[in-house]
Structures are given as C-alpha cells and as structure tokens.
C-alpha cells in the first residue's frame, strides 16, 4: 500500500514540478519523498519513484506533443535516428524513470546509512588470560 502511495505522490509532485522546473527535478522529489516515506527495500524506492516520474513525463510529453501536432517530437526523432515520434516520447520517459529512480535510491541508501540500529558496533570479547 505504501508503494502505491509513494508512486502516486511522486507522479503528482513531478507533474507539477516539471511544468516549471528542469528535467532533473524528479531526482530531488524522489529523494525527498523517500526520506520522508521510506520503503522496505532500495529497489522498491527506485521503482516507485521511477514509475511515478515516467508516468507524469509521458503525460506531459503527450500533452505537449498533441498541442504542436507531433512536429517537435517528429523532428527530434529524426535527429536521433528513431523511426517514430513515439520512440522519442519513450526515450524521454526512460530518462525521467532513471533520474527519479536514482534520486530515490540514493535517498534510501543515505537513510539506511544514518539509521541508528544498523550502526551499532558489536561488543568485543575480552581476551581470556592464557593459562
């Protein structure tokens, strides 16, 4: 349940942030959300933030692409030697997925690093005097 909540929160936050901020902002959003709402595993944090950012990136790309009748994405696809403008949208979504996923994974690793229960050092066994 927390996975879906983090995914939706990432999608909504990235949607509004990507309207006015640069392409790398999903990394910061995913990291901040992961610090506040941690998941059990690093890969879950990576996947939740990545899928949330990729879904909002696809939505934003499709909205902008419909507005200009696929002109810009078609020319960008030709520039990158892609067969269709849809591949350009997929590449853009993949960039958002990886960016947000790595930001979230970094935050999960930092949270685990600084968590108190994992940093306790084991007690040393005192050496027995030699007989």
What number of residues does the chain have?
A: 131
Q: What is the DSSP letter of 118?
A: G
26-78: pLDDT as tens digits: 999 999 999 999 888 889 999 999 999 999 999 999 999 999 999 999 999 99
pTM comes to 0.80
Query: Minimal CA–CA distance to 89: which of 61, 66, 115?
Result: 61
Side-chain-side CA neighbours of residue 82 (13 Å): 16
Q: ∠ at Cα 111 (105, 112), nearest 5°? A: 90
85-101: pLDDT as tens digits: 999 999 999 999 999 99
Q: What is the DSSP letter of 19?
A: T
């Amino acid at each position: 349940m927390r996975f879906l909540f983090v995914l939706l929160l990432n999608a909504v936050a990235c949607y509004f942030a990507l309207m006015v901020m640069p392409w790398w902002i999903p990394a910061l959003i995913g990291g901040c959300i992961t610090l506040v709402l941690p998941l059990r595993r690093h890969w879950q944090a990576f996947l939740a933030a990545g899928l949330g950012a990729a879904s909002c990136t696809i939505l934003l790309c499709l909205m902008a692409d419909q507005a200009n009748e696929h002109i810009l994405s078609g020319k960008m696809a030709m520039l990158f030697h892609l067969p269709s403008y849809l591949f350009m949208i997929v590449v853009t979504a993949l960039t958002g997925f990886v960016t947000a996923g790595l930001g979230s994974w970094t935050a999960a690793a930092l949270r685990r690093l600084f968590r108190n229960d994992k940093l306790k050092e084991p007690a040393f066994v005192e050496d027995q005097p030699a007989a």
